Structure 1
Amino acid sequence: MGCAAEMDLNENLMPRMGFGPPTIAVFVMVFTMTVAQGLYAQHPPETQRLGIPQPSASATIAATPPVGSLPKRLPPAPMDLLAAPTVSGDTAPIQWWTDRVTQQVLDRDRWVRFDLETILLDTLAHSPRILSVGYEASSTFQRIVQQDAAFDSTILLGGNLGATNDPVGNTLTTGGADRLREKSLNFNGGVRKTTRTGTELELSQEIGFLDSNSSFFVPRDQGNARLSLSLTKPLLSRGGRYYNERLVTQARIENRVAWQDMRGAVEQRIADVIAAYWKLYEARAMLTQQRELLARSRHIERLLVSRKDFDAALIEITKAKQRVARRADQVIDLEAGLKKQQARLAALVGSEAMIGADSDLELIPMASPIIDHTRWTLRDAVAQALENRPEIRAATHDVELSALELRVARAELEPQLNWVFNGYLAQLNGASKVARSFGEQFDNAPGVSTGLEFELPRGRRAFRAQHREALLRARQRSQRLREVIQQTQFDVETALIDLERFEQQLVSKRNVLSTAVTEENILTVQWRIIGGDDSRVGIKLENLLDAQQRRTDAEKDLVKVQAAYMIGLVQLQRAMGTLLINEGIRPAQSACSGEIDFLRDNFQPETIILSPEQRSAAGTDAVQAAPTAGGDVRAPLDSDAAGQTAAPVPADEPPRSKVALPRRIGRPALNAAAAPAMQPEEQTTPPPSERAANAPPSPALPQDSASWRTPSGGWTR
């Protein structure tokens, strides 16, 4: 009764107040639109972190359904559309992460920003691997000095004091005394030397005092002097210079092998550092992309949670939360991978400042991948590898060593025939007049003796075995050289194939990313304006989340291919043996101490052809600063009598053909307009008014080579 009375009362009051059913329906619709408009008035903060251009207001208004056609489900909040890709090679909006990679991505208080030049200088200065192989090459250089020292002269000095007291069994010995008593004091000095043709030469001078109790010892208190010369010279094959210098030549060849091994080890470490640098860039970019994906998914999750009491289904909220949890877990994995990559780069560099830090230093690379599309033919690349690859040079020196051993073994198969010569001058005087005897020894004719020595082992089995061993070793090293050449050709061909694949994938990955961005834009608009039952809305949400994941995967694939392309360039330079040349690194060895220093060229022209007038204007300094083609300087700069310093000459290197080298990896190419900017700071050229009208312009001179000891300005804290 009470309920029925209340309903009748309401029905009677509503017409009186002017609120009929049509009016109430209009009020409900207006209230609903007001709430929806207020709910979507502001974008959440996460959409501002996309780093891409915002859509125009007209596009947003056009996407909103007009009043009167409101679907059963209210549309979600407007989301930013993604930018379309631009021309390949430019910094496109599609690569929005490029600038953010050079900023901090880890929550650390200390960070350091560096470029590739700085990290290479620190590697040359601190890497234990590079220092170790440098010391090893220096130690083999000392063996050359040791073997060459065998031809140095040896000074001989000696002296003895003697007293003889022997019983006499013959009266003719002493003339009556029962014991022979003699006293002597002798001094001798001389020089012994082995020449490079195998001749053994010894020259000695002896002076002394001698006295005896013999009646036949005349004169008494004798002072004697004797000058002796002995000479032994091989006459057959063992008298050749190549045979007697075989140990020196062997030490030099072994030093060349060690030098090439050192170059190969340094190139490999430099390649590892550059690869780790780009891997670090890749890890930072992928972490940034994954965090952006997580931010977009969290935006959808918050939107659905805010509408859970209105029209958001529980299954939609659950799907969004599941995607957020999975993507947050992937962020943790990528952060751990980034920290591992930082630790690997620090270990390769070997700097105590990076390794000894309290694990709170963030390494931020400044450079981004530069795709220059340099094309190499297989023929040119293999030609470069055959000329510059350290492994091929080392194997070639091994074959050269085998040829030396074989020639020495053939010489030892022959009999040994020596010419022996002995000569002397002698004089003695009484009353211990040694000085008089020394002077008078040249007044008399010398005593001489000469002869031949012939030596031939029976059967010569040892020498025959040595010859067979040397022959087999030469064949083994020849096959080893063939293997190294074939392996080098395989490495070069593989590197070229990888580069071609990466270059093609750069285009395909950009296309994939472009379509993924377009797909996400379309699905975002569809999810924004879709109406209908909850099942269709759930499918659209699932498709949108999958499209977001596909877009992020496409971004990661593009970054991975870009880093792989830069690493592929390094691997190609490593396969051709031109990585040190390409990076401007010159190993130089002192001819005195054998210590190895690595010089870094700040400027390396690809091709410089100067006229005679320009050479005279440039002077000798331009020649000194120009890097060598092989980057293999084995001796310091020599000075002539005028005090001018000559350019370093590569040791035991054949003349090279001029082959164009690619520019440094990751550096912009040097053009003609940029060359004048490389002038030194101090200008000594007179003003233009004082110059001669017909004077040729001075060419741009390279900057001085920077040693790894020179502090680098590439570090930014």
Structure 2
Amino acid sequence: MALWAGAFTIGAMTLFATDVSGQQPAQSPGRYPLPSRIDPPVPSLKAIRNQLSQVQYTESTTEGGGNESYDLGTDPPVPEFGRERTDDLGRTYAVRDPWLSDGVESLPTPTDAPPEAVLWWDKDVYEPLRQVPESLPVTLEQILVATLQSSHYVDVIKEIPLIRETSIMEADAQFDWISFVETQWNDISQPVGSRLTTGGPPRYRDHNVTAQAGVRRRNQTGGQFEIGQRIGHQNTNSVFFVPQDQATSRLTINYTQPLLRNAGRAYNTSLTVLAQIETAAAQDELSRNLQAHLVQVTEAYWGLYLERANLLQKQRFLNRAADILEELDRRRDIDALQSQIVRARAAVASRRAEIVRSRTEIQNAESRLRALVNDPRLGDGLMLELIPQDQPSTRAEEIDLRWSVETALQNRPEVGQSIKQIRAAGVRQRIAENEILPQLNAILEMYASGLRGASNLGGSLTDQFATGEPSYSVGLQYEMPIWNRAAKARYNRRRMELRQLEAQFRATAANLTLEVERAVREVTTTYQEMLANFGAMQAADAEVNYIFERWQLLPGS
């Protein structure tokens, strides 16, 4: 709606820009000539003279005689329309100006203005205005689609959810199986202090090689499971080492289950939940940034329309100033003063300087639009002119304030992002609450082993299951800090963060409500301003045209 007021604010700038005569500016060397002037539907000089000739004197006599009318000819007194005047002879006259009556008194009130007003620049603003070889008509829909397809900024922000989405897989990967392999070679040679170590040799020599392979995994309840196969070969110079060249093997299964701290599916899947929440929040961030960028593109599009209309305004100002200067030059020896001519020349020079600046602003507006869209089809500003084809809407929009606020609270990305931040803070608080508990783990280990001499590794592996029985152990592991200050501090911090985010959500909702309320009021107010400016533009055009024509017809006025 702000664009409506902008369009009609341009119209209000025509207070002193109605053309009736003037010189034709040079044409553009491009495919289309620059419009020489923008002529609104104003009466011609002949029509003005005919209307002024209808002004009548009404002579009143004290004896009740009849009224007598006199033609004013070409030199009527300077009237004030709509009032009675008395001349030097005591005669009263009523001034009637049909054109001014049709042009001003019949202007619609702001509440009755036509919804789709026809403005004098509506046609030429959609024609080429710059001296470039080519021109490209574009609509706002085409620009927005091109932005979604080609904008570098859109390419940047649309990667944010994809980047955040990888954190979901990363968090869930903590429950993947992990394989491991370990090998070790030990070659020991050391003196002995007891014959019981070697049974005679003064030095103990041991050659031992081991290898272990297996898999481990953490489940969603917090338990750690591990299974591994260990094999080895050992030989020493001890006479007590029987049999020589021993091949050993052991199959081990371990499981550790937290019972208090770090226990439970909710705690152990919290990182995945946080990653999912952050990914959803990234979608809201993308929506917010994308909407803001599209708003900038829309503003740039209508900004280009506004600058083009401004150029037509300034061209019209220049034509009017040139007309006045030309008229003053013709009347130099009649009633025009030298000071008036000098001021008129200064006005013409000033208007030309404004046109130079206005052309630059058009190029800047095109450059900004190209920079936001980044579509190669928009071409180069030196070779291609962008011409907006959409017309600003002037129709009233009935907007319900309560419905607008409710819709905004349900759909605005800021609200969704704030809610997701609260959810994430609640998850972190539950994590901190769990970490206050003592560490209590249940531990279970079971293994089966085998041994063979003469480096018989195959027989050792068979003995794991064929000879003897498995070994096992069960136990509990307990750990608790004396004061547990670190865990309590984390929990208190998470509580305060959650409370802060809840307050931030209320502030966001309040600010959003204020923003929507102001926007709805601005839509209504701007529409009324647009209608008022439209009426003021028409009235000012009529007044300026009358004053200019009177100055042309009445020497010395």
| The one of 104, 107, 116 aligned to 1:90 | 116
Partner of 2:50: 62
TM-score by length of 2: 0.78
Pair 503,389 (structure 1): closer, same or farther in 2 beyond 3 Å: same
Q: Which piece of structure 1 moves more, 419-428 or 141-150?
A: 141-150
CA deviation profile, 1:85-111 (whole Å, cap 9, x unmatched): 89623352xx02112112222333454
CA deviation profile, 1:260-294 (whole Å, cap 9, x unmatched): 22322222121111112112111111211221132
Q: Which amino acid aligns with 2:397?
A: T
The 5 A counterparts of 1:638-653 are none
CA deviation profile, 1:55-111 (whole Å, cap 9, x unmatched): 5898367358799945499xxxxxx9998989623352xx02112112222333454
In structure 2, the residue corresponding to 1:271 is in which secondary structure? helix
The 5 A counterparts of 1:127-276 are 127-236=151-260, 238-276=262-300
Partner of 1:301: 325
Task: Tell whether the 8 Å contact from 2:37 to 2:315 is kept in structure 1 after alignment.
Answer: no
CA RMSD of aligned residues (A): 3.3
In structure 2, the residue corresponding to 1:98 is in which secondary structure? coil
Query: Take 1:247 and 1:196, find their aligned partners in 2: how far apart are those partners?
Result: 11
Q: Which amino acid aligns with 1:198?
A: G
Partner of 2:408: 385
Partner of 2:130: 106
Question: Unaligned regions of 5+ residues in structure 1, if any?
Answer: 1-41, 74-79, 538-717
Task: Tell whether the 8 Å contact from 1:209 to 1:224 is kept in structure 2 after alignment.
Answer: yes
Query: Take 1:509 and 1:424, find their aligned partners in 2: how far apart are those partners?
Result: 92
Indicate whether 1:495 and 2:519 are aligned: yes
Larger relative contact order (CA 8 Å, sep ≥ 6) = 2
Partner of 1:116: 140
In structure 2, the residue corresponding to 1:417 is in which secondary structure? strand
Partner of 1:509: 533
Query: Take 1:364 and 1:48, find their aligned partners in 2: how far apart are those partners?
Result: 18
Query: Take 2:36 and 2:427, find their aligned partners in 1: how far apart are those partners?
Result: 74
Question: How many residue pairs were aligned?
Answer: 483
In structure 2, the residue corresponding to 1:442 is in which secondary structure? helix
| The one of 275, 281, 284 aligned to 2:305 | 281
Pair 468,207 (structure 1): closer, same or farther in 2 beyond 3 Å: same
Query: Take 2:130 and 2:161, find their aligned partners in 1: how far apart are those partners?
Result: 42
In structure 2, the residue corresponding to 1:189 is in which secondary structure? strand
Task: Tell whether the 8 Å contact from 1:52 to 1:83 is kept in structure 2 after alignment.
Answer: no
In structure 1, the residue corresponding to 2:426 is in which secondary structure? helix
Q: CA deviation at 1:486?
A: 1.0
In structure 1, the residue corresponding to 2:50 is in which secondary structure? helix
Partner of 1:475: 499
Q: CA deviation at 1:185?
A: 3.0
In structure 1, the residue corresponding to 2:449 is in which secondary structure? strand
Task: Tell whether the 8 Å contact from 1:222 to 1:433 is kept in structure 2 after alignment.
Answer: yes
Query: Take 2:72 and 2:483, find their aligned partners in 1: how far apart are those partners?
Result: 118
Task: Tell whether the 8 Å contact from 2:409 to 2:415 is kept in structure 1 after alignment.
Answer: yes
Pair 379,71 (structure 1): closer, same or farther in 2 beyond 3 Å: closer
Query: Take 2:348 and 2:121, find their aligned partners in 1: how far apart are those partners?
Result: 21
Q: Which amino acid aligns with 1:439?
A: T
| The one of 407, 420, 428 aligned to 1:405 | 428
Task: Tell whether the 8 Å contact from 1:127 to 1:349 is kept in structure 2 after alignment.
Answer: yes
Task: Tell whether the 8 Å contact from 2:284 to 2:417 is kept in structure 1 after alignment.
Answer: yes
Pair 134,467 (structure 1): closer, same or farther in 2 beyond 3 Å: same
TM-score by length of 1: 0.61
Q: Which amino acid aligns with 1:226?
A: R
Query: Take 1:393 and 1:127, find their aligned partners in 2: how far apart are those partners?
Result: 25
The 5 A counterparts of 1:404-443 are 404-443=427-466
Query: Take 1:199 and 1:244, find their aligned partners in 2: how far apart are those partners?
Result: 10
Q: Which amino acid aligns with 2:254?
A: S
Partner of 1:520: 544
CA deviation profile, 1:322-372 (whole Å, cap 9, x unmatched): 443343343334334333333333333355786x94656533222121234
Task: Tell whether the 8 Å contact from 1:64 to 1:529 is kept in structure 2 after alignment.
Answer: no
Question: Unaligned regions of 5+ residues in structure 2, if any?
Answer: 1-19, 25-34, 55-70, 78-98
Q: Which amino acid aligns with 2:182?
A: G
| The one of 373, 377, 393 aligned to 1:349 | 373
Partner of 2:57: none
CA deviation profile, 1:628-655 (whole Å, cap 9, x unmatched): xxxxxxxxxxxxxxxxxxxxxxxxxxxx
Percent identity of equivalent pairs:
29
Partner of 2:364: 340
Q: Which piece of structure 1 moves more, 158-167 or 273-282?
A: 158-167
Pair 371,346 (structure 1): closer, same or farther in 2 beyond 3 Å: same
Q: Which amino acid aligns with 2:457?
A: V
In structure 2, the residue corresponding to 1:97 is in which secondary structure? coil
Query: Take 2:36 and 2:386, find their aligned partners in 1: how far apart are those partners?
Result: 26
In structure 1, the residue corresponding to 2:465 is in which secondary structure? coil
Query: Take 1:313 and 1:323, find their aligned partners in 2: how far apart are those partners?
Result: 15
Q: CA deviation at 1:240?
A: 1.0
Q: Which amino acid aligns with 2:300?
A: A
The 5 A counterparts of 1:667-682 are none
Q: CA deviation at 1:520?
A: 3.1
Partner of 2:390: 367
